[in-house]
Chains A and B, each alone.
Chain A
Amino acid sequence: QVQLVESGGSVVQPGRSLRLSCAASGVTFNRYGMYWVRQAPGKGLEWVAVISFDGSNRHYPDSVKGRFTISRDNSKNTLYLQMDSLRPEDTAVYYCAKSSSSSGYHSRFDRWGQGTLVSVSS
């Protein structure tokens, strides 16, 4: 059974950095693309980052490009999201999700973690 467990969320001041982690189990982690998705309080879902199975391809929406970096350590079955220059509008629950394909592209999100809350406030 696939399990994705996020950690690292906390309260942080604007302009500071934070790194989220997502530990995967019950899946051959190095075979699948992975994503980060966020949900602001009371709002809908927003895709934040994608990384291919081997880390060779990564993409971001304009809202986080240049500030967020997705990475993975396949030896540790762990996905990361480095968030720099945080803004109040980055406040959200951050979910990691697994792709149904190796590249991550043209693919749905077939398993999700439970999420970790990031609050950006002074």
Chain B
Amino acid sequence: DIQMTQSPSTLSASVGDRVTIACRASQNIANYLAWYQQKPGSAPKLLIFEASNLESGVPSRFSGAGYGTDFALTISSLQADDFATYYCQQYDDYWTFGQGTKVEIK
């Protein structure tokens, strides 16, 4: 089974900050990597697919990068609406999620 490890688990930031969340796969997954945003009491929402492709309707301040085993999600200028938990997911061999990164207000 492919394991996904995110860091950090919690990130404290202010509006306007540039934030980056890392995700590492236990084996090569090429670019079969997605990022999701989840707010309390709501379902996850797809942000990025194939490691760097922005889902339709997602603001351009979100971007993804990486290939193989190391990936990153970057929010270029954090907005109030972005405080949430973010999950990476591999879909190369079935599906596995990272443990999540909570982005909270500093």
Q: A residues near B, CB below 8 A?
A: 35, 44-47, 50, 59, 61, 95, 100, 106-115
Minimum CB–CB distance for B104 against chain A, Å: 15
27 example contacts (A-B, Cβ-Cβ < 8 A) are as follows: A35-B95, A44-B87, A44-B97, A45-B36, A45-B87, A45-B89, A46-B97, A47-B95, A47-B96, A47-B97, A50-B95, A61-B94, A95-B43, A95-B44, A100-B49, A106-B92, A108-B34, A108-B49, A108-B91, A109-B34, A109-B36, A109-B95, A110-B49, A111-B46, A112-B43, A112-B45, A115-B43
Residues in A with CB closer than 8 Å to B45 are: 112
Leading 4 A-B pairs by shortest Cβ distance: A112-B43, A47-B95, A108-B34, A45-B97
Contacts A45-B97, A47-B94, A47-B96 given: A109-B87 contact, CB under 8 Å?
no
Chain A interface, DSSP helix/strand/loop, else mixed:
strand
Number of B positions contacting A (CB below 8 A): 21
Contacts of B91 in A (CB 8 A): 106-108
The verdict on A45 contacting B44 (CB below 8 Å), with A109-B34, A110-B55 known, is yes
The interface bits of chain B over 79-106 (1 if a CB of A lies within 8 angstroms of the residue's CB, else 0) are 0000000010101101111111000000
Chain B's nearest CB lies how many Å from the CB of A99? 10
Closest to A96 in B: B43
B-side interface residues toward A, CB under 8 Å? 32, 34, 36, 42-46, 49, 55, 87, 89, 91-92, 94-100
Nearest chain A CB to B36 CB, angstrom units: 8
| Residues of A contacting B97 in the complex (Cβ-Cβ under 8 angstroms) | 44-47
Give Cα A80–Cα B15 distance, bound, in whole angstroms.
42
Closest Cβ–Cβ distance, residue A93 to chain B (whole Å):
9
Q: Are the CB atoms of A112 and B44 closer together than 8 Å?
A: yes
- Contact present for B95 and A44 (CB under 8 Å): no
